[in-house]
Each structure stands twice: as C-alpha cells, then as structure tokens.
Amino acid sequence: MPAIDVQSVRSVLEGGGKIIFNRNNINPTKCSMQAKLPAPLGTFDNTLMAKATIADNTIKMVATKDNDLTANAVNVLYEDQYATTGSIKPPGYIFSDSFGGCSFYLFRGPMGNIHGAHASRGNHGQVTNPTSYFTSRGGTLLYTWHSKGNIPDQRLMNYELGAVLAVVNADVTDIFCITTKNQKVTSVLSHEQVSNSAG
C-alpha cells in the first residue's frame, strides 16, 4: 500500500471536517478477555478493522471483517475499567474516540506492527496503564497522550469528546488529538510526529 498523505488528513481535521466510523453491522473483535496485568481489570483487544477513505472534507472508515487484507484502519473501542488495544501494519490508521479523561498509548510491537491502546481512567481514578503488558511482550512505548487536563472544560461542557487519529506510515506516525461532536471535528488539540523506530 502507498504511504498515507498526512497533509490531506491534516486539512480535514484543521478544516472542521468530519470523521465518520460506520460499524457496518460488524461486531468488535475481543480477545484476551482474561484479566491480565498491569491493568486492574485487564488489557485486551477490542477493535473493528476498517477501510478508510478521504473525500469531501471527510475521513470515512467502514468496518470490515478481521481477515480483510484490504483493511487499512483499526478502531480501538473504549471499555470502562480496561485498556483496550488494536494493531495495524503500516501504512494505516489507528482511531479511537470517547476520551474524556482516558489516555492513549502507542507502541511498536516486536514484529513491526503499531499498536494503539485506549486506557480507561474508570471509577478507580487511575489510568489502566498497558505499558508493562506490551513491554513484557517485546513492545516499545512510542507515545502517550492523557486527555485529562488536555481537553478544555468548556469543550467537555459542550458535549465534545476527545479522539485520537494516528496516521501510521512506514517510518513515522503522525498523531492527531482532536475534539469532536456529532462526527464533526471541533478542534485539533495537538499534532505530534514520532519515529516508529524510537526507543
């Protein structure tokens, strides 16, 4: 697959475009439901693979089956009290939304895949940190974003939630932390680029 044009993604996000995820009547893939350290209640896959396209100021992801070799995106779904994960082989997108206090982690796995994790803060008040889960399996932490304190209160009071879109190319990943409301991008909170070989 060709590299993803980061400027096209940036134009949609900074231009107040939309991010649409269509579940397409497909159920999420959930693996490793058995509780595992380090999370109080576990770290597990909770994802929907998808095909992503950019057109008409919209990034549209349509869910597809896990074994679809044309999938170029993964949606990491939130689960209260857990750290949920999803993986993509570059190039591709990692998307996760519903951030209102949770944290996002990005790891490189030992086989070169890039893994995103949506870590719940939950009712215990602490982030369900998946770092030791990944590092004990040969992964390397590339990036962390904590939504708590980084989403302005006025946006949360306006029912805007945080989301992360990571654009994963062969050598680098561009991470956009944004706020959305009704699928419309309302702000770009940060845009950072990390090397996939960092660490």
Give DSSP secondary structure letters for 39-80.
Answer: SSS-EEEEEEEEEEEEETTEEEEEE--TT-TT--EEEE---T
Residue 172: exposure state from Cβ atoms within 10 A (0-12, 13-18, ≥19):
middle
Give bridge partners of residue 93 from the DSSP assignment: 73, 167
Supply the pLDDT for residue 51: 97
pLDDT band at 187 (very low <50, low <70, confident <90, very high): very high
Supply the pLDDT for residue 32: 52
Tokens of 80: 């209260």
* The pTM of the whole model exceeds 0.85: yes
Distance (Å, rounded) from C-alpha 96 to C-alpha 1? 22
Residue 133, classed as helix, strand or coil, is helix
pLDDT band at 39 (very low <50, low <70, confident <90, very high): very low
Q: For residue range 66-93, what is the model confidence (pLDDT) as tens digits?
A: 899 999 999 999 988 889 999 999 999 9
Give DSSP secondary structure letters for 137-157.
Answer: TT-EEEEEEE-TTTS-HHHHH
Which residue carries 């706020």 as its tokens?
179
Q: What is the mean pLDDT of the chain?
A: 91
Distance (Å, rounded) from C-alpha 95 to C-alpha 129? 18
pLDDT band at 42 (very low <50, low <70, confident <90, very high): confident
Percentage of the chain surpassing pLDDT 70?
Answer: 93
Domain ranges in the chain?
6-195
Task: Name which of 15, 28, 10 is nearest 96 in CA terms.
Answer: 28
